[in-house]
Structure 1
Amino acid sequence: MSQQEFDHIQMSIPAKPEYVGVVRLTVSGIANRIGFSYDDIEDMKIAVAEACTNVVNHAYQDEGTMNVSFFLYEDRMEIIIADRGQSFDVDTIRNNLGPIDSNKPIVDLKEGGLGLFLISTLMDKVEINDESGIVLMMTKFLRGDEVEHHVDRITTAQPKQ
């Protein structure tokens, strides 16, 4: 697994229902750009919408902020969604994350557990930290056989000659 990070995109947006679609569009655009299949992009859009909706519905009494970060690698995309408006260092977050157990009965999961169960079935890897607010990291691996080998997955526009 490649550890070289290509790009990091971060958004800080109001935790309001009308902004969930903005995050969905963002994940769709980024995932399309680096070569994910249509089905994987749809899965990521649903998972991200579920995670953002959990923040909107459960994180705040009044208004708050959610941070969404996209970490792009050669072989995967990691999406981190955090509530409480906290900024975070990804290495610290990774050290404190733990897996979501999709084998647990749904009734044993915390509030919003059905959404977490759905997220864990749509993404390749899901980890969570709930010590101060919720930090959810979702990973989707880019399957090389679905991308043409001669196509750069992260490209810059080249003028046609």
Structure 2
Amino acid sequence: MNAIRLQIPAHADYIDMVRICLFGIASKMNYAFEEMEDMKVAVSEACNNAVIHGAQGATEDVIDIYFESKDSGLTIKVKNSGPSFLPPAALEKAAPLPEVDVSGLKVGGLGIYLMQALMDEVEVNASENGTEVVLTKYLDTKAAHR
């Protein structure tokens, strides 16, 4: 397993750095372009959540991102040290998109829904030390079912 760690200020201006790093890693792992784009959207959503929710009251206004590559695929961990949120409540809001006009969509919860739709596995771990979102995309989608 190879791991790369990136730490950015908890500010939206730095999320592009995470996307660039992800693109480089995913390219070396031979992901298809569409898969790389899906991963970039998912990791951006995780980082946006960390900026919006995680930095509030945090002593360290940083986001830690870990890229762990294995033969089976790539796992990306996005961790902030701000106040945690209750994952079940956020996941409950992450209902499938309604088949109506988008003006009727609720604010909040869509980021997690997008992450779940674009990645093979999404895990949210909340503790008193912050929140960690774990995103996994397999190189071979059959590996997800092993």
Relative to the length of structure 1, the TM-score reads: 0.69
Query: What is the deviation of 1:61?
Result: 2.8
Query: What is the deviation of 1:113?
Result: 1.8
Aligned to 1:129: 125
Q: List per-residue Cα deviations over 1:9-66 (Å, max 9, x = no partner).
A: 0011101111000001111110011100001000000000000011111112367000
| Structure with a larger share of its residues in helix | 2
Aligned to 2:78: 81
- Counterparts of 2:89 and 2:18, CA distance in 1: 22
Q: Which amino acid aligns with 2:25?
A: I
Aligned to 2:139: 142
Q: Give the root-mean-square deviation of aligned CA atoms.
A: 2.7
Aligned to 1:16: 11
Q: When the two structures are aligned, how many residues end up with a matched partner?
A: 124
**Structure 1 regions of 5+ residues with no counterpart?**
86-97, 145-161
- Whether contact under 8 Å (1:99, 1:127) holds in the other structure is no
Aligned to 1:64: 61
Relative to the length of structure 2, the TM-score reads: 0.75
Give percent identity, aligned residues only. 35
Deviating 4+ runs (over 4 angstroms): 98-102
- Give yes or no for the alignment of 1:106 onto 2:94: yes
Which secondary structure state, in structure 2, belongs to the residue aligned with residue 74 of structure 1?
A: coil
**Structure 2 regions of 5+ residues with no counterpart?**
96-106, 142-146
